[in-house]
Every structure is written in C-alpha cells, then in structure tokens.
Amino acid sequence: MKVDLMRKIDFYMGVPLCLFFSIFFKTIFIFHTKETAQPKNILFIELSEMGSAILVDPAMKKLQRSLTGSELFFLIFKRNKPSLNLLNTVKEENIFTISEDSFFSLTFDTLRFLIWARDRNIDTVIDLELFSRFTALLTILSGAINRVGFYGYHNEGLYRGDFLTHRVSYNPHIHIAKNFISLINALLSNNREIPYSKTLITDEEIRLDKVTVDHKQKIQMIEKIETLCQLFNRDKKRIVLINPNASEMLIQRRWMPENFSLLIQYILNDYPDTVVLITGSAGEREEAEKLRLSVKNERCYNFAGESKFHELPLLYSVSHCMVTNDSGPGHFSAVLDLPSFVIYGPETPKLYGSLGNSKAIYAGLACSPCVSAANHRKTPCTDNVCLKVISPEYVYKIIKPCLDKG
C-alpha cells in the first residue's frame, strides 16, 4: 500500500478503534485489574523504519544485560525485516513480519500476529512507534500485561488511545536512540513515575556494537566488484559509495540527482585512484543508471541491486567512504567504521543521526525539521529548499579531507 493510504487508514480507522478499545479495556479492568509481571517474553514493535531497527539495538542490548533469561521478540513490516539481521540481536524465529502490500494482507497478518503473540506468552510489549495508532492497538490486543510506550500527556499530538502501563514522555530534544533507552528504563524501574523516565542517559549507552566481517567473504565481495567494474583493481583503486535514494515515506529527503552527479564528477576528476559505486535496491536500478549516465565517466558504476542486503557490511568493509541521503544506509553503515556523510533536510540529525562514524550535512533552515511525531511525519512542503541550498561544492568540501587520507 502507498504511504498516504496507510496514513488515512491509520487515522480514519485507528482513532475510533483506539477510543473504543480504551473504553472497553478500562471497563474490564475495573472488575479485573491485572498487576504488572516480571518481564520474561518481551516484544518490540517497530514496523515502518529500517533505520530504527538499528537505532533500537543499544536499548535491546541493555534489556538483555539487565534481565538475564528474558526472551526478545520483534514485530516489523516484512520489507524492513532484513535490517534486524545486520546485528542479529533477536533470534530469527522470534521475528514476526506483517506484509503491507495490500489491505487484505495487512489484515490477515495482523490476525496471525495476535495468535502468534499468545502462543509465545508475550507478557511485555515495548511500542517504539511515535505516532502509529496501529501499533498502539497491537500493543493492547497482544494480551501483554506490561505495555511500555510514548504517551502525550499534555502535549499536542496524535491520539493513540490509553493502553500503556508504563507511560514514557517522548523527548523531542534528545536522540531517538536515547528515547528508546528511556523505554527500557521505564520497564526496569522499581517505582511508579509520572511520567517515566526520570533518568540520565549518556552517549555511552547508545553506542552500537560492530559486526565482524569474515575475511573470505570480504575477498569475495572485492572479486564481485572487480568483475562488474572493469576499471577497479583492489591494489590500485579505492571505492566511494553514493546512495542517492530515500524511501517513499518521505521523498523530500532526496538530494537532487544533478547535485549527486556534480559531486561524483568532482570526486572522479580529482582522485584518479577512485571508483564510484552508485548503490540502491534492484528496484532503484533504473534511477541509478540515469545518474551514472549523467556523470559521463567510466569509473562511475551502477551497483544498485548488485549486492544483497546481508552483503552490505561486506560492501562497506571494502569501501573508503559513503555519501548518502538521510535514509537506511546511513544507519546500516554504522555497524562498521565506514566514514559516512549523511545529507539531512526535513529531519534533523540531532534526533535521527547515525550512531556510526558519520558526519551530518545539514542546512538548518528556519523551517527545518518540518516532520515530527506530532504531524505523522507528513509535511506540506513541495519545495525542499532545505536540500536545494546544500550545494555539491559544499558537500565536496566536507568530504575532501576524508578523500585526501588516501
């Protein structure tokens, strides 16, 4: 389904359903009050963002350290599941996926999930979403006794019902990874708080674990690149990755193709020992090809669709650096030490910046960021000046010290 259709369904069906079930369960709990239980089978819900599956990892690791013997589960949209496999914090058999291809598949998988959750005795749900009524409904209908999530209190924002046993006040002034940690702190707290979570969260707590790259597989990736890119030689050339795409959820995050084209030309003209790989999914290959043709340089290659998702750490491990829009790859590369340069526009790196070896490129206009938890990440803007004012020359100046390192 298209993103706007999902938003409409979430609003027109989600609001009345949240109201109905809030009244329904409050009435039931008057006569049958459930006490909170020691968390044992804990479900995380984050459906729509692949990057968030990386950003929540420090929170999941903290929970594992704090509650030894607990079992972690995860609910995510099917197309976003591969992001969970980069760090493998949650067992494969503990991940449930929902297909959002159509309203029928969404409904069918939702019903399957409710059975799945009860079969696994899910006692705790941590809802990571900021604005989805759908996940709020899944939280209460899962049957979990402990229900942790963000609650609006007196803040204006989206109505998501009244289902939570641990209401955490979302803080729009700290990184989302720290907000995720605050959900864990709320669950672990021995005291009832209004609001949760009155804790100090340090930068150290949101450091990502790094993945270990197998040397043999690394060599295989180099050989693949040498086969596809005739001018690449592992002993004489280095690789710069360019990721020009961003998800359909917020197309305003896309820096202009002509800007990427000029940036690539600057890199290849000044650094003859470099090849550029334009990355993306197989569905983005046509767009990547247009960008490659505009560059008019034999050392620029269309690599979209050439590597599987699970091979991304291998690709990152053999590359010199990456320039990307504000999208998943900026977070995926954080599982290694690859220098990445992420171009931000309608969102802010203060909240959604990569946790890796990354530098944010951000104009910081008066209108930015224009998307938030309060507007369902839907902006009225059709002219993303916040990205247009970021020139190829400016980006090149920022990445040049990295390129000069050789």
What pLDDT score does 251 carry? 76
The Cα-based distances of 330 to 218, 333, 390 in angstroms read: 20, 6, 18
Region 148-163: mean pLDDT is: 83
Place of tokens 């290659």: 301
DSSP single-letter state for residue 70:
-
Distance CA 255, CA 245 (A): 8
Give the end of a domain, one of 184, 206, 228: 206
How does the average pLDDT of the chain come out, rounded?
A: 91
| Residue closest to 73 by CA, chosen among 140, 144, 163, 133 | 144
281 has pLDDT over 80 = yes
DSSP single-letter state for residue 196:
B
What pLDDT score does 146 carry? 95
Q: Please indicate, yes or no, whether residues 236 and 259 belong to a single structural domain of this protein.
A: yes
Domain encompassing residue 199 = 3-206
Q: Please indicate, yes or no, whether residues 231 and 324 belong to a single structural domain of this protein.
A: yes
Q: How many domains does the chain have?
A: 2
pTM score: 0.91
Local confidence band at 248 (pLDDT 50, 70, 90 cut-offs)? low
Coil, strand or helix: which one is 307?
coil
Q: Please indicate, yes or no, whether residues 121 and 83 belong to a single structural domain of this protein.
A: yes
Distance CA 242, CA 325 (A): 9
What pLDDT score does 260 carry? 97
Q: Please indicate, yes or no, whether residues 128 and 226 belong to a single structural domain of this protein.
A: no
Q: Please indicate, yes or no, whether residues 192 and 255 belong to a single structural domain of this protein.
A: no
Distance CA 150, CA 42 (A): 17
Report percent pLDDT > 90 for the chain. Answer: 67
Q: Please indicate, yes or no, whether residues 182 and 243 belong to a single structural domain of this protein.
A: no
Distance CA 292, CA 301 (A): 6
Distance CA 31, CA 40 (A): 26
258 has pLDDT over 80 = yes
What pLDDT score does 152 carry? 81
Q: Please indicate, yes or no, whether residues 368 and 231 belong to a single structural domain of this protein.
A: yes
Coil, strand or helix: which one is 171?
coil
Q: Which residue would you say has higher pLDDT here, 305 or 380?
A: 305
Local confidence band at 191 (pLDDT 50, 70, 90 cut-offs)? confident
Least confident span in 184-193, 250-259, 383-392: 250-259
Coil, strand or helix: which one is 145?
coil
Element (H, E) at 2: none
Cβ atoms of 258 and 222 within 8 Å: the answer is no
Per-residue pLDDT tens digits for 44-94? 999 988 888 999 999 999 999 999 889 999 999 999 999 999 899 999 999
Q: Please indicate, yes or no, whether residues 172 and 63 belong to a single structural domain of this protein.
A: yes
Least confident span in 25-39, 182-196, 239-253, 301-315: 25-39
Tell me the H-state helices in 148-304: 176-188, 215-228, 257-270, 285-295
Give the end of a domain, one of 180, 206, 232: 206
Cβ atoms of 361 and 342 within 8 Å: the answer is yes
Q: Please indicate, yes or no, whether residues 259 and 373 belong to a single structural domain of this protein.
A: yes
Local confidence band at 249 (pLDDT 50, 70, 90 cut-offs)? low
Q: Please indicate, yes or no, whether residues 27 and 152 belong to a single structural domain of this protein.
A: yes
33 has pLDDT over 70 = no
Residue 110 buriedness (CB in 10 A; 0-12 / 13-18 / 19+):
middle
Local confidence band at 13 (pLDDT 50, 70, 90 cut-offs)? confident
Q: Please indicate, yes or no, whether residues 201 and 219 belong to a single structural domain of this protein.
A: no
Q: Please indicate, yes or no, whether residues 157 and 228 belong to a single structural domain of this protein.
A: no
CATH code of residue 264: 3.40.50.2000
Give the end of a domain, one of 157, 185, 206: 206
What pLDDT score does 49 carry? 81
